């Protein structure tokens, strides 16, 4: 009999939380033959990446996943065999009671935020709190052996490489978004939080000797882009050119389309967790805008990843990449940092592919979760 899984997602950061849990739920169904209920407290945020969602329905099926609205007033439901509280969200008290009265207690896990910090390996799969005899465990995604790995569907890297080797497939996809790449231009995607350093980066892109075509999906950075352009109310379909820089606004697209966008681009600026991981699978140089936390503790996470990611780079290329990421997140001098990065482009481009292939050697997150459950029972 197939195991029943419940995944609870409280949408905090618009799309990051639901982005991760939606990918995970679909993969558990498609590749691990699990029965999955995905409980989401904000169906309107979910609708952006899954337009088929009916936000008025409390229960519906999407791609084999039983999608449930998680209401403020809990209506009651039986507890599953495996219960995942995504990103430390608090389960409904009545659901916790339902876990406690099962004949066999469920495997209860807190699927935590992604981090490259050293302590993650030591805490992965350790027991946490108990509720009436039901034990909760920490489960950490990660980049090192001894963690839960990263979300990666079977054959993802192979599909990506085939797509990148087919110019016709890339042209067809970009045309579907209304994009006609400028001949010889560097193609960059930009998906980020609000950032005071953006104007300096756009300044240097516009005065560069090489043309840049910047693709900006609708999101929080759009207002900053508009201010730099001197345009109010930027929306999907807008195209503006300033000297060597062409800025084009794209609609918010579903996850599979966003993957293809990352695969098409020469460089990807991403944010949060879901797009950060997908940019790594793209095998292209990237820039991460990490989610800001109190007392700047997010910078410790940023530095931990940079230490790991840049370990195989030459000292000069490492300094250039670290400088750009720190300037983007601190903020600092994006203009000078970008110029330094371009001096090491071939090495950074090859390194991005090498890093992707290295990470693909580890078990993916969905597989690691199922393996933990099978060893636990």
Q: At residue 1, does pLDDT exceed 80?
A: no
Confidence of residue 331 (pLDDT cuts 50, 70, 90): confident
Q: At residue 126, does pLDDT exceed 80?
A: yes
Q: How many domains does one find in the chain?
A: 2
Which range of residues forms the domain containing residue 132?
4-151+363-376
Nearest to 302 by CA among 320, 280, 328: 328
Q: Round the average pLDDT of the chain to a whole number and report it.
A: 96
Q: What is the arithmetic mean of pLDDT over 325-344?
A: 95
* DSSP string of 256-316, one letter each residue: HHHHHHHHH-SEEEEETTHHHHHHHHTTS-EEEEPPP-GGGTHHHHHHHHHHHHTTTS-HH
Q: At residue 162, does pLDDT exceed 70?
A: yes
Mark whether 321 and 335 lie in a shared domain: yes
| Per-residue pLDDT reduced to its tens digit, 22-58 | 999 999 999 999 999 999 999 998 998 899 999 999 9
Q: At residue 121, does pLDDT exceed 90?
A: yes
Mark whether 224 and 267 lie in a shared domain: yes
Instruction: Indicate whether this model's pTM tops 0.75.
Output: yes
Relative to beta strand 245-250, strand 239-242 is antiparallel
Mark whether 162 and 290 lie in a shared domain: yes
The CATH number of residue 79's host domain is 3.40.50
Q: What is the arithmetic mean of pLDDT over 54-83?
A: 96
Q: At residue 294, does pLDDT exceed 90?
A: no
Mark whether 219 and 264 lie in a shared domain: yes
Mark whether 220 and 237 lie in a shared domain: yes
Mark whether 221 and 311 lie in a shared domain: yes
Mark whether 144 and 160 lie in a shared domain: no
Confidence of residue 91 (pLDDT cuts 50, 70, 90): very high
Task: Copy the structure tokens of residue 311.
Answer: 């370990």
Confidence of residue 225 (pLDDT cuts 50, 70, 90): very high
Choice between 81 and 13, residue whose per-residue pLDDT is larger: 81
Mark whether 352 and 372 lie in a shared domain: no
Q: What is the arithmetic mean of pLDDT over 217-221?
A: 94
Confidence of residue 295 (pLDDT cuts 50, 70, 90): confident
Confidence of residue 147 (pLDDT cuts 50, 70, 90): very high
Confidence of residue 13 (pLDDT cuts 50, 70, 90): low
Mark whether 163 and 59 lie in a shared domain: no
Q: What is the arithmetic mean of pLDDT over 251-274?
A: 96
Nearest to 146 by CA among 173, 165, 118: 118
Share of the chain above pLDDT 90, in %: 92
Q: At residue 377, does pLDDT exceed 90?
A: no
Mark whether 330 and 368 lie in a shared domain: no
The CATH number of residue 206's host domain is 3.40.50.2000
Cβ partners under 8 Å of residue 258, min gap 6: 217, 275, 278
Mark whether 69 and 171 lie in a shared domain: no
d(CA 9, CA 88): 9
Mark whether 267 and 341 lie in a shared domain: yes
Is residue 3 a contact partner of residue 82, using CB atoms and an 8 Å limit? yes
Catalytic positions, please? 17, 273
* DSSP string of 213-250, one letter each residue: EEEEESSTTHHHHHHHHT-SS--TT-EEEETTEEEEEE
């Amino acid at each position: 009999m197939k195991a029943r899984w419940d995944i609870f997602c409280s949408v905090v950061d618009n799309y990051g939380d639901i982005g991760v849990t939606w990918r995970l739920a679909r993969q558990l169904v498609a590749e691990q033959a699990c029965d999955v209920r995905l409980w989401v407290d904000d169906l309107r945020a979910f609708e952006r990446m899954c337009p088929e969602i009916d936000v008025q329905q409390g229960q519906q099926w999407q791609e084999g996943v039983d999608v449930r609205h998680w209401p403020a007033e809990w209506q009651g439901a039986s507890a599953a065999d495996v219960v995942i509280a995504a990103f430390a969200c608090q389960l409904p008290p009545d659901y916790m009671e339902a876990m406690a009265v099962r004949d066999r207690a469920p495997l209860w896990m807190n699927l935590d935020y992604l981090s490259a910090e050293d302590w993650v390996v030591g805490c992965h799969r350790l027991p946490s709190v108990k509720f009436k005899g039901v034990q909760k465990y920490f489960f950490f995604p990660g980049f090192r052996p001894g963690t839960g790995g990263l979300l990666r569907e079977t054959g993802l890297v192979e599909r990506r490489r085939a797509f990148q080797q087919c110019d016709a497939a890339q042209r067809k996809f970009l045309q579907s978004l209304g994009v006609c790449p400028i001949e010889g231009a560097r193609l960059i995607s930009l998906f980020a939080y609000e950032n005071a350093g953006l104007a300096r980066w756009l300044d240097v892109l516009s005065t560069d000797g090489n043309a840049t075509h910047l693709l900006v999906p609708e999101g929080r950075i759009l207002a900053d882009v508009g201010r730099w352009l001197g345009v109010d109310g930027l929306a999907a379909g807008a195209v503006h050119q300033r000297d060597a820089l062409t800025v084009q606004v794209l609609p918010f697209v579903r996850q599979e389309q966003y993957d293809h966008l990352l695969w098409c681009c020469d460089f990807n600026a991403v944010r949060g967790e879901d797009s950060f991981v997908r940019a790594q699978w793209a095998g292209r140089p990237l820039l991460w805008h990490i989610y800001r936390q109190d007392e700047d503790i997010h910078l410790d996470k940023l530095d931990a990843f940079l230490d790991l990611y840049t370990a195989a780079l030459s000292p000069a290329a490492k300094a250039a990449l670290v400088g750009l990421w720190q300037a983007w997140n601190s903020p600092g001098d994006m203009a000078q940092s970008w110029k330094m990065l371009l001096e090491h482009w071939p090495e950074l481009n090859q390194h991005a592919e090498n890093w992707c292939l290295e990470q693909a050697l580890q078990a993916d997150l969905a597989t690691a979760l199922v393996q933990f459950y099978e060893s636990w029972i």
